[in-house]
Amino acid sequence: HAADVYKTDLMTVTRHVLNEQSKYPESRGDFSILLSHIVLGCKFVCSAVNKAGLAKLIGLAGETNVQAIRVTGHFDLQGEEQKKLDVLSNEVFVKALISSGRTSILVSEEDEEAIFVEPSKRGRYCVVFDPLDGSSNIDCGVSIGTIFGIYIINDGGDPTLDDVLKPGKNMVAAGYCMYGSSCTFVLSTGSGVNGFTLDPSLGEFILTHPDIKIPNKGKIYSVNEGNAKNWDGPTAKYVESCKFPKDGSSPKSLRYIGSMVADVHRTLLYGGIFLYPADKKSPSGKLRVLYEVFPMSFLMEQAGGQAFTGKQRALDLIPEKIHERSPIFLGSYDDVEEIKALYAAEEKKG
């Protein structure tokens, strides 16, 4: 009987968002249309990333560097040409978002300036995104991802940068898509976090991780120990306490992939803490506020964890520049509390 072999009540990401939207009777479906275009971009990038892997195997790219693959003209991307995957991904997302007719401003890690959508195609949303975060890991097959956050445009007047230079707590949604052994789409629209896995045979993201909650405390810390020489006191003390716990508990394990989406996804599912602290070389850390720190912090809070910059709650930060960086400590609630206490003690010492 079909019901025995196939799950017939398929909860796709599109259906899930429509369900969410039904809670807001006044909504006109704009968000669902916007999200369907983001999902389209993710499906395209998933396919391109997988091809990049194959390109090396069958020499498609004809170059040692498989970051460029031959574009088969899926989109009007000037037909057949060699493109670096992150440039290709950016073009796909920009074109998909503009063609959705639901956006007014786009901020991409790949574009120095914000993109202001032409008036005839404007909508209520502003999308900030990193189209292919961690792309330096493509050649070795490590998981990479797309990260995005969504603001609603301020009332009245033409769109300006003030519509995106807002605290992360003003975001209406955030998420990422991880291109790894499977293609996993994780999303929050402000009432919890849900994970979807791409079923390539259907071309649909199916709900596989409903209502994700991060464990209150974890056994993993995730940081680039190579920067230890340049850390400030509280960070150094915290990492030391992970390795040589004073309360007799067992040391935490170190897991660091070097691809934010992969490190954050593991933290979300297994618990623990991910940190990219400030250091003497980079006093604001490395990760970008709008399209790395804010979306991941939004998801962590929605999953019951928290996110801290070393000075304040990450989502309270108000960026002044669209590519601004910030230190970030995010993950299990209790683990982040420990590092907050160390920074507070440092603050007291003055």
Q: Applying CB under 6 A, which residues contact ligand P6P?
A: 133-134, 136, 224, 258-260, 263, 286
Question: String of b and e for 184-204 (b: at least 16 CB within 10 Å)?
Answer: bbbbbbeeebbbbbbeeeeeb
CB of 217 to ligand P6P, least distance (A): 22
CB of 226 to ligand P6P, least distance (A): 7
CB of 328 to ligand P6P, least distance (A): 10
- Say how far apart CA 145 and CA 268 lie, in whole Å: 15
- Say how far apart CA 269 and CA 291 lie, in whole Å: 21
CB of 222 to ligand P6P, least distance (A): 9
Q: 């960086």: which residue's tokens? A: 325
Residue 86 or 204 having the CB closest to ligand P6P: 86
Whether 300 contacts 330, CB under 8 Å: yes
CB of 225 to ligand P6P, least distance (A): 9
Residue 77 or 142 having the CB closest to ligand P6P: 142
Residue 224 or 230 having the CB closest to ligand P6P: 224
Residue 164 or 330 having the CB closest to ligand P6P: 330
CB of 132 to ligand P6P, least distance (A): 10
Residue 123 or 134 having the CB closest to ligand P6P: 134
Position 38, amino acid:
I
* Residue 249 Cα distances to 241, 243, 245, 260, 330, angstroms: 10, 10, 6, 28, 21
Render 121-189 in DSSP notation, one character per residue: G--SEEEEEEEEETGGGGGGT--EEEEEEEEEPPSSSS--GGGTSS-GGG-SEEEEEEESSSEEEEEES
Residue 71 or 260 having the CB closest to ligand P6P: 260
Whether 309 contacts 318, CB under 8 Å: no
Residue 181 or 249 having the CB closest to ligand P6P: 181
Residue 91 or 133 having the CB closest to ligand P6P: 133
Residue 145 or 234 having the CB closest to ligand P6P: 145
- Say how far apart CA 344 and CA 341 lie, in whole Å: 5
Whether 291 contacts 128, CB under 8 Å: yes
Whether 197 contacts 181, CB under 8 Å: no
CB of 260 to ligand P6P, least distance (A): 3
CB of 287 to ligand P6P, least distance (A): 6
Helix boundaries (H) for the chain: 2-5, 13-21, 30-58, 85-100, 233-243, 260-270, 294-302, 333-349
CB of 43 to ligand P6P, least distance (A): 21
Name 329's bridge partners.
275, 308
Residue 4 zone, left/alpha/beta (φ > 0; ψ -120 to 50; rest): alpha
